A and B are shown apart, each in its own frame.
Chain A
């Protein structure tokens, strides 16, 4: 009983004691400082630039373009595929042994592909810069 009374007295004493401490306050411009920091973090997130075409995509485009442009040079007469090199049983059955056609591209087509690739590369860079400048 005595112990309980002591605890109760101690409890009310501590409450009375702590309540006498003057309220603590932050500095006057605190809210403004916090909002500035929040806005700065938000801006930093917005300005984080995602590239229009990622590096991986650029690599794939380069490989495909290279494949399209330079493969003809590995074949003397601009052959892409020479079916007569392959033995297909189905072809034998269909008597396609004598088949000897090649897929070739004309010079005009070749240059068209090259220029198309070039223009595409230039336009993508130009458009990317244009939109980046006009975003903010």
Chain B
């Protein structure tokens, strides 16, 4: 959906055409869901969060004044809703000890990953990502998967630029460490089957 089309639909919704909101939902539902899954770590909860996000967006559409992209505004609602949801459910935060991974080890990890079947690799990477703390995981997701700019991430998370950069850097290193540790069992399973 282009920005112009989006504006047209938003104007229609503001004038009372509720049906126009279905186009907005269809355009952004998976994007919002993706972020919600990263924060909540649970598909069912993520879907509820996604539903709540769109309902809140509909009810507060009048407050969207076009200062930022609509997607960024929606993301902000999704992120806050997801955080509220995990606070309610009091999810246990996993902590991961950081160890340095060298450039050489990074290359090894890449090569080993390429040896694994695509589907299994995807599931494995997703499982590794889920082991990160919610805030770092969601920043990684927004930055690399949804390709939000740093400025947009700052708007969504309400964190300072230095905090986001530090979290991003730590999250990258942790993820690499987690993937490295997850590779051995995955490779054993892969070569074991051959």
Q: Chain A: residues with CB nearer than 8 A to chain B?
A: 5-7, 9-11, 13-27, 30-31, 33-35, 37-39, 41-42
Greatest chain A CB density within 10 A among B102, B109, B144 is at B144
A34's partner among B25, B144, B173, B175 (CB-CB below 8 A) is B25
Given contacts A10-B173, A30-B47, contact A19 B145 (CB under 8 A): yes
Q: Is the CB of B34 within 8 A of A38?
A: no
**Interface status of B79 (Cβ within 8 A of chain A):** no
- B172 near A11 with CB under 8 A, answer yes
Report which of B21, B123, B145 forms a contact with A38, defined as CB distance below 8 A: B21
Decide: A31 near B103, CB < 8 A? Known: A14-B175, A18-B144, A24-B33. no
Question: B190: CB under 8 A from chain A?
Answer: no
Q: Which B residues fall within an 8 A CB radius of A?
A: 18-19, 21-22, 25-26, 29-30, 33-34, 37, 47, 50-51, 54-55, 58-59, 102-103, 106, 109-110, 113, 118-119, 121-123, 125-126, 129, 140-141, 144-145, 169, 172-173, 175-176, 179
Contact A5 B22 (CB under 8 A): no
- For A14, the chain B residues whose CB sits under 8 A away are 140, 144, 172, 175-176
Instruction: Write the nearest CB–CB distance from B159 to chain A, whole angstroms.
Output: 19
Across-interface contacts of A23 in B (CB, < 8 A):
30, 34
Q: How far is the CB of B48 from chain A (nearest CB, A)?
A: 10
- Are the CB atoms of A26 and B29 closer together than 8 Å? yes
With A18-B141, A21-B145, A39-B18 in contact, is A10–B106 under 8 Å at CB? yes
- Per the bound structure, the CA–CA distance linking A7 and B102 in Å amounts to 11
**Closest chain B residue to A37, Cβ basis:** B55
Which among A13, A25, A41 is the interface contact of B55 at CB below 8 angstroms?
A41
* Chain A: minimal CB distance from B106 (Å): 6
* Cα–Cα, bound, A9→B176 (Å): 11
A111 to chain B, nearest CB (A): 52
* A133 CB → nearest B CB, Å: 26
Q: A9-B103, A30-B51 are in contact. Are A24 and B37 (CB under 8 A)?
A: yes
Is B110 in contact with A13, judged by CB distance below 8 angstroms?
A: yes
Contact partner, B33, options A9, A11, A25, A33, Cβ 8 Å: A25
Give chain B nearest CB distance to A9 CB in angstroms: 6
